[in-house]
Amino acid sequence: MNAFQVFSLFSLCFLAANAQLIVPGRCPNPAVQEKFDAARYLGTWYEIQRVSTTFQKGQCSTATYSLKSPGVVGVLNRELLDDGTISEIIGTAKPSPTEPAKLSVSFFEDSPPAPYWVLSTDYDNYALVYSCTDLGVLHSHFTWILSRQPTLPEETLEELHSTLTSIGVNVEKLLTTNQDADYCSVMRK
């Protein structure tokens, strides 16, 4: 094996160990929410389900979006860790000028922005978010099912699962986030 092949193999092993879900093929290009209205999307969302991630380990997860400046959305992600502490990360999101439901999210100044695509939302009850990064002949994707309330009706979950399945996401791999009121009470004060 030459040095490039060794580096490539090492890189793929590293990504497999640290990435969320690595799948063969390139990222799909699913349809996103038409006529996305970022102003209606602002506010707090409760995470209902997600793909396992290395950067998200807690429960009671919420995402709060606020208008930071024209064309820039403030992002505050919070979760309750197993040791009882609250973990927070602050970032920004910028909608694409041509497809506003395709946002670019950054949490660190030196890191490239990550895709945050709102596939579907009714703004008042649910949001289905997808992110995908091409890794050559593979891709890594994330997905989050969000709700304005700590629960979501089963029928809505089934509809969102159907959308995810249609773009190649294995919904059997989704983790359900604990949003139990007693367990999460420290987050809701």
pLDDT at 15: 40
Q: How many Å apart are CA 177 and CA 175, to the nearest integer?
A: 6
pLDDT at 85: 92
Residues of the chain with pLDDT under 70: 1-21
pLDDT at 92: 95
CATH numbers and ranges of domains, the chain: 26-188 (2.40.128.20)
pLDDT at 187: 82
Q: Are 133 and 140 in contact (CB under 8 A)?
A: yes
Q: How many Å apart are CA 133 and CA 110, to the nearest integer?
A: 18
Q: How many Å apart are CA 142 and CA 183, to the nearest integer?
A: 25
Q: 50-63: per-residue pLDDT in tens?
A: 988 777 889 999 99
